[in-house]
A and B are shown apart, each in its own frame.
Chain A
């Protein structure tokens, strides 16, 4: 009974994720009349968008469902897959419903994609959103505040509501609440990974990229209730692993399922980080714009695309492994992803120093062949299992 309830929710989430033409966004616009603004990975000021009556829509590439016909005209083979499927979507009209696109400062590929947008769609809002690598409130903070203000202004010029303090504060609160739910699910998966398969959690998070925050909240609540009630989910003899490297271009769903089937419980990951970007609730006292800026400067998740001032690369990963009681690390990165792949040796060094086993592989969002990865992950899980003391059947 509750098993089918879970299934129903997950299917709804999957429908939202596979809704490449963004019909749900179209419906939202018809009902609410605001602007729909797309944003690329990893982080975008969703709080600000919502406060100005806009719907933030996360675009994480086209995934496995998009056949590349024209996208390759823009990208060489040695560039990751995400931008070509994104441009394919745009050229095919799938993104027409969006009133603008945000290109956050995460890597040269997305940076240059903002330029392609400007060349190809001169009439649309293509906003390159620069976030500081200097985390001093007086310097980087001041810059970020100006960026946010400029961006807010650009939205107003496209017909959005002007930014109001109260609205922004309310928006911060709404996203705080949403993040709390996502974080609770992560916590539950950490404690009882058989209850929350990662591919389900993943789909639910992706649904949050297109759904308005309240709707997403409802979905998460329903899911949480349903899995708590579902007695059919029993623990299996699987290895606990942390997955890292998939913060931008997302792996195909089949890959996540393959990993789980090959004997891994993913107990922490870096998929779709925007929904969990601030580790703690943003403060609601004082000027909300400053609060947003400060949350960004001080409370963001670590990411290969953010400068680590203290130079302790990899420490955060080691901590995540410890916190989640993981037995191994999967470096699961998109091919040709410079930020992830250049970060990896530093992370590996730290992980090795901590004595945790790891393995690494690469994917593209449209891979359909998982044989090699299955074998690699399977072997990894085998070895954790065969050599762990508790050999429960």
Chain B
């Protein structure tokens, strides 16, 4: 999790927060703290924290394994154990890690789950994933089925269904595991802090409207969303982290600075693009560098909305605790139907004055990928802006073909430049 050139204070703080969390997990057996495994989209961190339970997010572990160059080995191991080549590599990476001793990203052994919270938002693979873990750990499992926003809005029936499951299934399960009674005021307190941090996060993400953009909303963005998407939403630490981050970004805007890339600050913003789809973790820096080398900044991305679509207006609400948790789960990006996803992309293209759209499609993730080509065509049709398509994977390095991606990216940016050169000079975006 290092960015070469200059480390901001917020960055340091974030690293420390995460390290501390893993250390705490490492000590959980001795300290007697209980942990709950769950997923990023639709995570119920506030609720877990209200029971003093520690969240463990296998997806984050998988992506960290990818970044640390461990995923190939883990995936290989899972495949040896009979997992198919065809399926989501997050799952395989996680299973491989588990089978190799469950050593987390900071070298600590992760505690076994006291509960598997199968909150099933936006992706059917989650269901299989925890069924698999359940066989390994023989841990109690509670299902929270979050219906799909098939018509682009949350229906009262869906909300009612989720709330009923929270009340009658999830909360009792958490009470059993933690041995504590549910305290709604504690939850409200968490939610209040969440909402504040969410305000600051949205401010940061929207700073990309500036020219030059002070942030990279994709490669940089994944760092910014870290705390709020994982174990920290609703905590005081998260609140402080986002305040600090906001101040830093404000400073960069004031100085007219661009984002910091793996090679240092981006000197000249030549292209502004929107990216749809998750990044590749095994060659994250290389991938980022390919953009930076072309002078391309990602001004908005959908991946940074998988753990909540705060910029579209959602906030956790202490006054409607369970309902707002339900709405949160229902509103995560991959739980939106394709027409809505297309609307979001078109809105980003416009709002962030982007030159074009790039879709990064990962083999792992049907939830994201199945339909991206149709989305791409629709966005092109509506905006008339150049679109491009890249393919690799989340954590399986075998599917990251650097030469191929570079080739496509180069062609894409040359295409954007050529198109811009030919266009009557209305809004050339290079300063």
- Direct A–B touching in the complex (beta carbon < 8 Å)? yes
The answer to whether B141 and A311 have CB atoms under 8 Å apart is: yes
The residue that A308 contacts in the complex, of B83, B131, B169, with Cβ under 8 A, is: B131
A143 to B155, alpha carbons, bound, how many Å? 11
Within 8 A of B (CB), among A288-320: 304-305, 307-309, 311, 313
A83 to B118, alpha carbons, bound, how many Å? 27
A108, A139, A307, A349: residue with the most chain B Cβ atoms closer than 10 Å:
A108
B16 at interface by CB-CB < 8 Å: no
A390 at interface by CB-CB < 8 Å: no
Chain A residues, CB < 8 A from B374 = 73-74, 115-116, 119-120
A134, A146, A308: residue with the most chain B Cβ atoms closer than 10 Å:
A134
A111 at interface by CB-CB < 8 Å: yes
A225 at interface by CB-CB < 8 Å: no
B135 at interface by CB-CB < 8 Å: yes
The answer to whether A349 and B135 have CB atoms under 8 Å apart is: yes
User: Which of A6-14, A180-188, A335-343 sits within the interface?
Assistant: A335-343
Distance (Å) between the CB of B183 and the closest chain A CB? 23
The answer to whether A108 and B141 have CB atoms under 8 Å apart is: no
Given known contacts A307-B127, A313-B135, A342-B91, A113 and B143 CB-to-CB distance under 8 angstroms: no
A307 to B145, alpha carbons, bound, how many Å? 10
The answer to whether A107 and B338 have CB atoms under 8 Å apart is: no
Q: Is the interface of B mostly helix, strand, loop or mixed?
A: helix
Q: Is the interface of A mostly helix, strand, loop or mixed?
A: helix
The answer to whether B378 and A119 have CB atoms under 8 Å apart is: yes
Chain B residues, CB < 8 A from A238 = none
Chain B residues, CB < 8 A from A111 = 124, 148, 150
The answer to whether B127 and A341 have CB atoms under 8 Å apart is: no
The residue that B337 contacts in the complex, of A114, A138, A146, A341, with Cβ under 8 A, is: A114
Interface residues on B, range: 35 or more
A130 at interface by CB-CB < 8 Å: yes
B363 at interface by CB-CB < 8 Å: yes
The answer to whether B338 and A115 have CB atoms under 8 Å apart is: yes
Given known contacts A118-B338, A134-B143, A136-B168, A345 and B148 CB-to-CB distance under 8 angstroms: no
A336 to B147, alpha carbons, bound, how many Å? 23
Q: Mark B142-177, 1 if CB is under 8 A from A, else 0.
A: 010101101100010110110011001100000000
Chain A residues, CB < 8 A from B160 = 142-143
The answer to whether A142 and B143 have CB atoms under 8 Å apart is: no
Chain B residues, CB < 8 A from A236 = none
A386 to B374, alpha carbons, bound, how many Å? 52
A250 at interface by CB-CB < 8 Å: no
Within 8 A of B (CB), among A8-36: none
Chain A residues, CB < 8 A from B158 = 143
B125 at interface by CB-CB < 8 Å: yes
The answer to whether A139 and B168 have CB atoms under 8 Å apart is: yes
Q: What residue of chain A has the Cβ atom nearest to residue B163's Cβ? A: A139
Closest 7 pairs between A and B when the two form their complex, measured CB to CB:
A115-B338, A128-B150, A342-B128, A112-B371, A133-B145, A341-B84, A108-B366
